[in-house]
Amino acid sequence: MNLKFLILALLAPSIAAAQSPNFTITGKIGNLNKPAKIYLDYTSEGKGATDSAVLVNGTFKFTGYVEGIASSRITLSREGIKDKEIYATGTGDVIYVSFGKENIHISSPDSLYNAKWTGSKVYNELQAFNKAVGPTVMTVHHNANVLLRRATAEQQKDTTYFKSIDKTVKALRKSRGEKMLAFAKANPTSEFALQGLSELVSGYSLKSDQALAVFNKLSPELRLSYTGQGLYKLLNADTMTALGAPAPNFTQNDVNGKAISLSDFKGKYVLVEFWASWCSPCRAESPNLLKQYASFKDKGFEILGVSVDSDKAKWLEAIKKDGLTWPQISDLKGWDNDVRKVYGISGVPANFLISPEGKIIGSHLMGEKLNKKLSELMPD
């Protein structure tokens, strides 16, 4: 037998095994039927997947493959429209949970939000973590929205009532942040110590030097994991993206699947623009970017859009609708985008201006700040 085909034949069983489903999620939510649908979006070790199922008498089933612990978002839409449930009201029936290579069952008489989980050790560990540090940000805001919806006519006119809810939300978030830091210090081998530290950096703006001190005491397995390495890049981004520093090179695919690198534009001023189709402030900046691109493109100016989208169709739709004509790239990993981590982006829109020599000469330039900077660099 030809050696090449012999190797392929030997590898075939292991490849098939690697792709075999290693988790199952079954459930029953009341007695819901079509058009009600449930959606599962999850990532594990940097690889993401999505799935959906129509409910039949409240039942559904998902199977899939994960390489480690998965972070997921599960959404129940009674109308079968996922985005409407999540984004239209901000109070949709959606939960954010973690799971592993497990056979899981979830059930509830009325909603996904109140569902009980069985068969998941990872979920139980997550619940124990949240019990130790306090309710998640999603839970805090969900509960606040419930109170607001139930407010009486008198309460709706009372600014003190709204201020008291806001005060409670801020207090709960502050408490969670303090307890997450304590948990990470006390549990250096826990997966959720790493997740808590990541949440502190992205959601609570914990300073890099403080986070690094805790990160360096986590177990080697956690530090070298995909999540650990992503956090390490984020924590070192301030040094890597300081003004005057060489801009870290990167490569991702454009809308046609062609690989494009930052280094391809050496010799030009390049605005690396981080954005997303779902980001209203990003889209609001598009007209100004179009104006500046038209004014300075022939003078050696280029824009390279880096999207933190996960849905390619929505990414392409936004590009078309806004009339964006400059190169656009993405790895379609959403907020897990590798370039976002390297550049330490904690929110979009955000950008970096790169010199023709490849050095960072500006950051977070929006509106008139960008216009003024470009006029100084490329005067008429």
pLDDT value for 91: 52
pLDDT value for 86: 55
pLDDT value for 146: 83
For residue 307, pLDDT over 60 is answered with yes
Nearest residue to 317 (alpha-carbon basis) of 259, 260, 278, 349: 278
pLDDT value for 35: 92
pLDDT tens per residue across span 284-306: 999 999 999 999 999 999 999 99
Nearest residue to 241 (alpha-carbon basis) of 201, 210, 272, 197: 272
Residue percentage of the chain with pLDDT more than 90: 61
pLDDT value for 3: 37
* Domains of the chain and CATH, by start: 19-119 (2.60.40.1120), 148-235 (no CATH), 242-377 (3.40.30.10)
Average pLDDT, rounded, for the chain: 88
pLDDT value for 87: 46
- Residue 166 CB coordination number (10 Å): 11
For residue 19, pLDDT over 80 is answered with no
Q: Are 69 and 122 in contact (CB under 8 A)?
A: yes
More confident residue, 376 or 12: 376
pLDDT tens per residue across span 250-286: 999 999 999 999 999 999 999 999 999 999 899 999 9
DSSP states of 55-102: -BTTEEEEEE--SSPEEEEEEEETTS-HHIIIIITS--EEEEEEE-S-
DSSP states of 213-246: HHHTTS-HHHHHSHHHHHHHHHHTHHHHTSTTSB
- Give the confidence band of 49 by pLDDT, cuts at 50, 70, 90: confident
pLDDT value for 12: 43
The single-letter code of the amino acid at 376 is: E
pLDDT tens per residue across span 313-346: 999 999 999 999 999 999 998 888 989 888 888 7
- Residue 111 CB coordination number (10 Å): 14
- Give the confidence band of 11 by pLDDT, cuts at 50, 70, 90: very low
Q: Which two tokens stand for residue 48?
A: 């993401």
> Model's pTM, two decimal places?
0.64
CA–CA dist 80, 61 (Å, integer): 16
CA–CA dist 241, 247 (Å, integer): 7
Q: Which two tokens stand for residue 186?
A: 């006390």
pLDDT tens per residue across span 137-163: 878 887 888 888 888 888 888 889 889
For residue 96, pLDDT over 70 is answered with yes
CA–CA dist 246, 241 (Å, integer): 8
In 164-292, which ranges are E strands? 251-254, 259-261, 269-275
